[in-house]
A and B are shown apart, each in its own frame.
Chain A
Amino acid sequence: MKKLFVKRIVALAATVTVAFSAAACGNSGAAAGNGDAAPAGSEAAEKTNAVYRTLDEIKQGGTIRIGVFSDKNPFGYVDENGEYQGYDVYFARRLGEDLGVDVEFVSTEAANRIEYLQTGKVDVILANFTVTKERAEEVDFALPYMHVALGVVSPDDKVVESLDGWDREEQMIVISGTTAETYLTENYPDIPLQKYDSYATAKNALENGNGAAWANDNTEVIAFAMQSEGYTVGIPELGSQDTIAPAVSLGNTTLLEWINEEIRLLGSERFFHADYEATLADTYGMDYEESLVVEGGGTQ
């Protein structure tokens, strides 16, 4: 009895921690990383017993609840008719179809994705969720369906194609708090960084020629180069490659295995290529299809 009480207090405290960190994290650097708010409440170790619904329970219930972003075009967003759309959503619909159930979309934020799974309030998160070691301790990731890496964009007349032999007179534009900043500081300490707080200011800085190039998530710089005349992504993949994968509640093996099997099967019909062409091609063009899409769960 007493133990149960203590357990509950711990659970409650964990929730408060998450809530405070979510409140504190706010929108800083929101423009920078679609998938990368800090892992909220990483010490929320308490594992509640079977909060999740197994594969059979979902089938019986007739509805699968999938957490997606509702404001991250082109991964998960809501169009002008109020319909969910995007790369993640396209996949979510297919999951529902193949399971033979309806899909109920739940609008999630970067900061509360883990909490939704830990409380079983959604069955799956398909919200541009980058696989990290810390997160893998709190949720179960399925096979990946997308790649992310860093990218560097620079003006056409002086395209930066390599970071070796960097001219010390030149500066690299980054957004503070992003993976790009951390990566460059660790691996290229000689490159002088010019740091900005938001996507908009960094973009202006590049357009005004304040820096030689701009390093950010490759999806962001590719989208920027597509929209703006006179800029080229000289380095489309830099540093370690991260992957984006569906996530389920920790221990929900029946659902996890079904999703993994599904991703493997979908590989044979090149589903994620079709997904890319339907949802991402408008933003990123056809040139980056192979570097962004992961088919059949296999990483190169």
Chain B
Amino acid sequence: MPDLGLEVLLKGKNLARLFTGLGVALKISLASVLISLPLGILLGVLMTWKHPLIRAVLRIYLELIRIMPQMVLLFLVFFGTTRVFGWDLSGESASVIVFSLWGTAEMSDLVRGALISIPAHQYESSAALGLGKVQTYLYIIVPQTLRRLIPLSINLITRMIKTTSLILMIGVVEVLKVAQQIIEANRMSSPNAAFGIYLVVFFLYFIACWPVSLAAGYLERKWR
């Protein structure tokens, strides 16, 4: 067994600090997911409408967010709003805003894709069966769309959790930053700690994302 320097985790509150950092990352991603899922679904439905103005606006929003690296968005919202409007956002709120903007954009595109993938005959058949418009959506279209959306949105959620590692650039101390702090604080006494600590960070991200995947698998089986 090579020396992974794991003993530094037992020093003081180091292990607890890592979990606190994970908590910060999860809190920010959870808040953003809760905001972006419903908003994304709403915008996704709007995107399938034929109204040219709505489509154009949503398209521009989606593309703008998609081509910008998240780091640039974070700097824009955190420092940019101070420069331009004089708002003093905290790092945490700037992160939630960026991740919600990003999550909403990506989610809306997923919803749009799932909606248009439902073949037209599904609509026509339910009309032929005498179902009204609301009933068609409620009993025929939405259940099928949801099933298609699950793997896609799980992917998005885990990506959001993992991308929180960027928010250390705007001063939010999350799990990766705590890891770097621990490694650096001990670089004289345990120079090998880097590998061990990053391994622990890997497991922390894993235990954060794994339940999400499990829940998705369960839903997929249940709704088969």
Contact = CB atoms under 8 A, between A and B. Distances in A.
Interface in B70-91: 71-72, 74-76, 79-80, 82-84, 86, 88
A15 B188 contact: no
B107 interface: no
Contacts of A227: 188
Given A12-B80, A80-B14, A112 B170 contact: yes
Nearest to A51: B82
Contacts of A112: 75, 79, 169-171
A22 B182 CA distance: 23
B16 to A, nearest CB: 8
B211 interface: no
Contact of B173 (A14, A70, A120): A70
A84 to B, nearest CB: 10
A1 interface: no
B79 A106 contact: no
A73 B170 contact: no
B95 to A, nearest CB: 14
Contacts of A107: 168, 171, 173, 177
B187 A73 contact: yes
Interface residues of A, number: 41
B80 A70 contact: no
B222 interface: no
Contact of B79 (A15, A20, A73, A223): A15
A22 B72 CA distance: 9
Nearest to B69: A23
Interface string B13-54: 110010000000000000000000000000000000000000
Given A22-B75, A70-B173, A121-B79, A80 B12 contact: yes
Given A107-B173, A109-B169, 4 more contacts: A73-B188, A81-B12, A112-B169, A121-B88
23 contacts: A12-B80, A15-B76, A15-B80, A16-B76, A16-B80, A18-B79, A19-B72, A19-B79, A23-B72, A48-B86, A70-B177, A71-B184, A78-B178, A80-B11, A80-B14, A85-B185, A106-B171, A108-B171, A109-B169, A111-B169, A115-B79, A282-B188, A283-B188
User: Which 10 pairs between the two chains have the least Cβ-Cβ distance?
Assistant: A80-B12, A19-B75, A119-B82, A71-B184, A15-B80, A80-B11, A19-B72, A11-B83, A78-B181, A23-B71
Interface of A: 8, 11-12, 14-16, 18-20, 22-23, 46, 48, 51, 70-73, 77-82, 85, 106-109, 111-112, 115-116, 118-121, 223, 227, 282-283
Interface of B: 8, 11-14, 17, 69, 71-72, 74-76, 79-80, 82-84, 86, 88, 168-171, 173, 177-178, 180-188
